[in-house]
Structure 1
């Protein structure tokens, strides 16, 4: 019996679990960071390590890896010259060649290859030793260490899901499979699961072979046959010696013709328990994880939930939280705050939700601004967490003295999400003035690719425990603000924070407070109209499909399209192997079939009705104004996004989308003014590339699409038609977004060779653009990031990826970010300048909406001329480029008719 006083030894079959983790997550939930680094296998692996430590508290624990390169089995496998395999068609055995041990194993998927270094790092930060031996596989290392640990009186748990490990099971050695609810396989369980005791596992495995490792076994003898034969004859050697007694003909002939291959297969499946290495239990003693290493790794992989579980870093602020301060403590706070500033935190600040993409942030479940305002107004006593002295935070009622402090322009303040704080303070009769640092915006400037910039996440990424109260939040903000500012200055992003992001926050606050007016009568009419259109489309779909069904059910739609109508079904994918009816699938089918085209139209109309037409009236205040929330820290490019409701996604290129814009109106006595930057990204391309043709075209006012059509297609300007110009427009904007020949061919409906020729001719004519792209990519490869004209940074870690798809996406992102990001910064600067001028001139005009390159203003009739001149001057003069900026302006009674 094992010595019960000796702790058990846990040996992890690492690669076995890495592959299982990878394939499990590939089927169910692929994961990656915002920058594109795949993390699914790493996440599952780390979670398994954490759970294993939690469930078993192993005293001795090591992770065993395979070593790349040849192992002794490779040379032995070469001795198998050929095999005799049964051909079911000819009903006879045929000679076939043998490629070698593991010769058929596919190369490790590229996205898994990229995760292996992070998995090894995870073991390092958990202080779990990594064991490996040159010339041997992980199985052999595990077998050897298991035997030696058992000889010393230790129980051994082999953490694996590999059946081969069952041959090692004995009185002291067991197999533990965490992926099957911590199933422990002792000798009895092995026999129950496999059908033979551990001592016969090798015989069974030798007979059945292994397709993954290309171990031949006896061709034609599978799982059941191998167990039955060993049970009947007792051993592999007995089966081979008495092969003529085997009743089943195919089994009998396979054994007779492949005796040497089967015996060699037994050698290949037998785990070598005599690897020349020592069992060093001292090095395997479980230690506490390296918290700083975990913090760094989890931050890089964006495992924020685990960051929050870590104990605070040693550098983290130590809190003294005073929930009921005395008069002396309150007086001490005000004295210190007036002298050196203070941090504060309060309820009603909305966390920025995770963004699904740069353009479409995920819709959160947080309250709208209208709900926040109503909740704040009902709150009689507003409590605020404040911190002036490092680590000492108080909970204070928002009284006149604190209101005065918040509004004192001489007192510096620190907060997380200044805009949200301003909304929360307004119903309490308090305003913010003076120098303010915003922890959320500082964190965003440092790295815009983080999934969220909530205080809990920013705190966790910087070594602090998540705030548990307003007082702890204030203490954390007070500690984070100076540290992040120092980091911003060292990273050369402080300027973009100070000149763009921070001064924009109060501008966005005023826009959100103003809201944009809607005409409920227009929306009511549209609701009826859209409802009728949805019904018409549905009836037409039923007619063409030959049956009625739930069009909104992907399952029913799939049956109708691919079973009843016989349309070509897409590749099955996903855990349940369901047939997709996603938009991209229907778009391909719609090119040749009417029903999928109508389904796409049905979905489009239904979404517009449910998302905007029916919802906007419910979100309007008493003055019929809708108050969206602008997110200034949710996209990787620096663009603003809009939620509750999202007013940036109302389509402008479709007639139905434009009809919805007709419901956005000006207040009585006013008109709406739209100011839209013309071809801003192409103008920035001309500026960055300094290409002579582009620069001259914009300086002289020549139409850039007509020019490109002439240069690329060789069509004289005087005979240019609309279709040719439209194709040139697709090329121009495609270049900005790094379009491929495949993408351009699909967009224009032409052959890839023709599309490739267009792109090549473009670069031949616009050589400055080619040089700009090459220079940008070279700099991105050197630094791992890309910057806008104003210094906003975006990490591009995949720029050197060995995966061509990921590297290609990274390259396109690197080229586009300076253009799209600079455009975003330009309009932000224009917004800041216009807000200041409107305030200085005491105009009643209000800036009410921003949609990417467009600003929308509500302008009283008597201010139209002044505001038009002001808006044009500020937008076109916001920065000096080597090509002119042009803003297209238009007035109208609603957003459609400008």
Structure 2
């Protein structure tokens, strides 16, 4: 599955159907006559606005009807957007806005000829007469939703979309009757609903679009997709519910019969009636008795779950009654203006018409604020006074520069609860240019400070010294609470300024405390926790998703934009908008985090960690620049030697880095067996292709080495040199907190995670990372943490006991899997067992394991089978976690971090298998990541509180690296080991290896004795 993009907009002018004329949508018809939506691929698929085209033998133009379950979409919209969205008079509008956005997006994507929206009307008496408890457990309609249903119907009237309702019947009954009408007329029908009961209506020529999450994510089902998902064809879904029940509709079903058993029975016998008629043939005595005793209950549940097609319309409907001809511009503009739905007015190109027909009220929109330009000391003082009394403030800053410590600060915007205006301070300050401080860990990196930047003639600007004097105390104080979006670079920048009152100094020092105090929420991190797989955490998309506002944050001003006040250009206005959006996001995002039990992860781990990472980026790590240059020259010489050898073996010179030229040499000239080709028909020369050819010709190994060394030289020895800060002489790598789907940290500029430490060249790269004078590098590395986490999560007794006894787990696995005594395990067997251990964690297939070990797939399959047969707890865990992920759509870590896996429902086998592997390994990898994050926060805080001069400087995989004065080595080593091993209590002990050395390569095991500090 692919994720749905947010509502992407519609043509500015009205009359969509006119725009569609001449471009009738094709309906692809397969051999079996199964209708599939154009350009969507096989269903179910999450909508993304694009997809892979299916090849079809015939393309036939078919009209299309769109039938919508109005109440279902209204409920989805109401709970997807915050109920604080309202007009100036207090009229709630969140359901109206969300409903409109969903419907317009679907209409724009499907381009229907006919549109009808069905609503429930009255009580479904015929169902209640049969079963009084039908849907009895459902909560009443929320008070804030009730008044919005008539407004939604009014919106539909303005849209000229037919509203259909029949007294005593539910919306899906009406949809069934309308779908039958469309099929009789030879019209393709698309049902849009959040109620999966409607899947029973799916037939050839009938698709169902099911809303999944928020207002933008849907899954599309055709007949085959329904059967793939539920195990039975659409028409058998009521039978399935008759047996297994349906909690959402309060249908009991047959006790003890779940969906799996129900599917098996239906596949064996046919219909529900067939199952009940053959109950005596069921093998299980318990199941046979349940079917016989609850046969009437099963039939009742089936009948209640069956959607009625015989709806008694007052007047028989005609399909032509639902023809969609476009909206009524005037009526729709008036409606949207009255409800202050400005984003829709802009999207539909009706803003000017609405303004002409009636002046827009500013309303209560959290994004509509005035602007206050603050330029003088007096204005700064007043702003500080006002902001210090606010309940919460949102901060947005403009830093221009590739790296925080080398950036210019060019403006700060602050929005606050209760303030009608957003404050903009045109502060201008460059990076600190003082000389680097001596003394290494514990010293300020900057002893001087840059002057304020040049001021353009006629432009107001505030000196950073004045900004720090007045607003510094407000921003560093614990109150008011602060919210920001992606604030870490600003924390790093502030820490370099001597004038700033907070720079992570030890408790009791003059600059004690963080650069920004009371930081309650970084909305980028909040959005990441809610969905770590989303492609963007930009404020524009978050504003649409959480507050239903459409904002423009482009580098250039939108057409027709005029400054709201003198001295405010578009850059200033954009910054103010960022502050406005961030403040508006705080409440709905916090509510969703709490609803999903992610608020603890935010408050106790991710927000404190952001401060830790900022301090690590600020400290940086020392680099031996001369050694780096020497290594670069040496690598260059070796690369040149390899190139000469390759040319000699090839018999000519060519561009080794050109896949096309390399393919010609290897496969055309040297005649090596060609593997797969690229999409353009060229030979593939990817690493995995060349590795398979390594034994065919000596040139291949040299090409692989050449390619590897070129990459290392470009990324590290050459790539790191320009990243060394000219003032500090250190490398300030960037730690990324919102990149990986598992919760692991990543790094960039440079990426220190990918240094190949098992190779000599990789170890030499590590050797250039050195401590400051008088310091050493100390590292704490979790031993086999992911295997320990797997032992805890699976509860496998053999694994748990092995870790408790302190055994070599790879040796133990080799003994168990290969059936040899522990003392007879060879290094080769241990290596294979290690590959199996980690292969299980990463969901490695038999093919992947066979490649990594250089063995046959049959042998690899036997290893995996033997492992799972021996470690039955691991097998049960793997099956359990995948099943749970399919049930709820996501997996969690031990600390409740979530990862959504929509691809589990994909009809694409490759995507589905990837999601299954992710379901297995994410709880393990994510829990390990959470553990080291918690350890980082606790160790960092204790170092600060104890006034240690040591600094945490790197986190790579399961390793923490510190720069520590020699006099603090033993104290810090003991503390780090204790905190890392004791950060969480698992069923198995956590073990940390401590190492110490003069650089990141030459590190020896540290036990606490003085001689361990020798290099």
Whether these two folds match at TM > 0.5 is yes
Q: Which residue of 1 aligns with 2:2?
A: 37
Cα 1:66/1:513, change in 2 over 3 Å: closer
Query: 1:393-419 CA deviation, whole Å, 9 max, x = no partner?
Result: 121353522112112223211111232
Query: 1:210-242 CA deviation, whole Å, 9 max, x = no partner?
Result: xxxxxxxxxxxxxxxxxxxxxxxxxxxxxxxxx
2:403 paired with 1:368: yes
2:449 paired with 1:408: no
Match among 352, 370, 377 for residue 321 of structure 1: 370
Matches within 5 A, 1:141-540: 283-285=324-326, 317-324=366-373, 331=382, 334-335=385-386, 337-348=388-399, 367-372=402-407, 375-376=408-409, 382-389=411-418, 392-396=421-425, 397=462, 398=467, 400-427=469-496, 429-430=499-500, 431-462=515-546, 463-464=548-549, 465-467=551-553, 469-540=574-645
Q: Which residue of 2 aligns with 1:124?
A: 107
Cα 1:50/1:572, change in 2 over 3 Å: farther
Q: Would the aligned equivalents of 1:67 and 1:135 in 2 still touch at CA under 8 Å?
A: no
Cα 1:321/1:561, change in 2 over 3 Å: farther
Q: Would the aligned equivalents of 1:307 and 1:461 in 2 still touch at CA under 8 Å?
A: no
Cα 1:712/1:118, change in 2 over 3 Å: same
Cα 1:330/1:741, change in 2 over 3 Å: same
Query: 1:318-366 CA deviation, whole Å, 9 max, x = no partner?
Result: 32231426978984774354241311111128xxxxxxxxxxxxxxxx7
Cα 1:806/1:512, change in 2 over 3 Å: same
Cα 1:683/1:383, change in 2 over 3 Å: closer
Cα 1:421/1:321, change in 2 over 3 Å: farther
Match among 589, 593, 600 for residue 693 of structure 2: 589
Cα 1:103/1:841, change in 2 over 3 Å: closer
**Could you tell me how far 1:690 is from its partner in structure 2?**
0.9
CA distance in 1, matches of 2:708, 2:728: 30
Query: 1:654-706 CA deviation, whole Å, 9 max, x = no partner?
Result: 11111100100111111111111100100000000111100010000111111
CA distance in 2, matches of 1:816, 1:573: 31
CA distance in 1, matches of 2:829, 2:38: 46
Q: Which residue of 1 aligns with 2:165?
A: none
CA distance in 2, matches of 1:566, 1:813: 40
Q: Would the aligned equivalents of 1:512 and 1:630 in 2 still touch at CA under 8 Å?
A: yes
Q: Secondary structure at the match of 2:995?
A: strand
CA distance in 1, matches of 2:735, 2:864: 37
Cα 1:127/1:775, change in 2 over 3 Å: closer
Q: Which residue of 2 aligns with 1:600?
A: 704
**Could you tell me how far 1:309 is from its partner in structure 2?**
12
Q: Which residue of 1 aligns with 2:117?
A: none
Cα 1:560/1:323, change in 2 over 3 Å: farther
CA distance in 2, matches of 1:573, 1:316: 52
**Could you tell me how far 1:558 is from its partner in structure 2?**
1.7
CA distance in 1, matches of 2:617, 2:393: 26
CA distance in 1, matches of 2:416, 2:350: 24
2:722 paired with 1:618: yes
Q: Secondary structure at the match of 1:648?
A: helix
Q: Which residue of 1 aligns with 2:908?
A: 803
Q: Which residue of 1 aligns with 2:681?
A: 577
Q: Which residue of 1 aligns with 2:945?
A: 840
**Gaps spanning 5+ residues in structure 2: where?**
50-65, 67-102, 115-178, 189-316, 334-345, 352-359, 426-461, 501-514, 554-572, 1004-1015
Q: Which has the larger radius of gyration?
A: 1
Q: Secondary structure at the match of 2:373?
A: coil
**Could you tell me how far 1:593 is from its partner in structure 2?**
3.0
2:816 paired with 1:711: yes
2:704 paired with 1:721: no
CA distance in 2, matches of 1:756, 1:443: 40
**Could you tell me how far 1:542 is from its partner in structure 2?**
0.9
Q: Which residue of 1 aligns with 2:89?
A: none
CA distance in 2, matches of 1:127, 1:743: 41
**Could you tell me how far 1:872 is from its partner in structure 2?**
0.4
**Could you tell me how far 1:456 is from its partner in structure 2?**
3.5
Q: Which residue of 2 aligns with 1:664?
A: 769
Query: 1:551-596 CA deviation, whole Å, 9 max, x = no partner?
Result: 112221122122212223333333x433322222222222433223
CA distance in 1, matches of 2:972, 2:379: 53
Q: Higher mean Cα deviation, 702-711 or 393-402? A: 393-402
**Could you tell me how far 1:638 is from its partner in structure 2?**
0.7
TM-score with structure 2 length normalisation?
0.60
Cα 1:617/1:842, change in 2 over 3 Å: same
CA distance in 1, matches of 2:483, 2:625: 41
Query: 1:463-484 CA deviation, whole Å, 9 max, x = no partner?
Result: 3314452211111111111221
Q: Which residue of 2 aligns with 1:885?
A: 990
**Could you tell me how far 1:286 is from its partner in structure 2?**
5.2
CA distance in 2, matches of 1:881, 1:279: 66
CA distance in 1, matches of 2:911, 2:865: 23
Q: Would the aligned equivalents of 1:666 and 1:672 in 2 still touch at CA under 8 Å?
A: yes
CA distance in 1, matches of 2:723, 2:869: 53
Match among 634, 643, 646 for residue 739 of structure 2: 634
**Could you tell me how far 1:130 is from its partner in structure 2?**
4.7
CA distance in 1, matches of 2:658, 2:940: 47
Match among 835, 838, 860 for residue 730 of structure 1: 835
**Could you tell me how far 1:458 is from its partner in structure 2?**
2.7
Q: Which residue of 2 aligns with 1:113?
A: 43
Q: Would the aligned equivalents of 2:10 and 2:108 in 1 still touch at CA under 8 Å?
A: no
Q: Would the aligned equivalents of 1:38 and 1:114 in 2 still touch at CA under 8 Å?
A: no
Higher share in helix: 1
Across the two proteins, how many residue pairs are aligned to each other?
656
Q: Secondary structure at the match of 1:547?
A: coil
Cα 1:59/1:653, change in 2 over 3 Å: same
CA distance in 2, matches of 1:567, 1:135: 61
**Gaps spanning 5+ residues in structure 1: where?**
1-35, 71-100, 140-275, 292-305, 350-365
Cα 1:587/1:405, change in 2 over 3 Å: same
CA distance in 1, matches of 2:885, 2:48: 22
Cα 1:586/1:447, change in 2 over 3 Å: same
Q: Higher mean Cα deviation, 680-689 or 127-136? A: 127-136
Cα 1:547/1:309, change in 2 over 3 Å: farther
Q: Would the aligned equivalents of 1:691 and 1:767 in 2 still touch at CA under 8 Å?
A: yes
2:724 paired with 1:673: no
Q: Secondary structure at the match of 2:753?
A: coil
Query: 1:609-647 CA deviation, whole Å, 9 max, x = no partner?
Result: 111112322221234210011111111111111112222
Matches within 5 A, 1:666-815: 666-815=771-920
**Could you tell me how far 1:68 is from its partner in structure 2?**
8.7
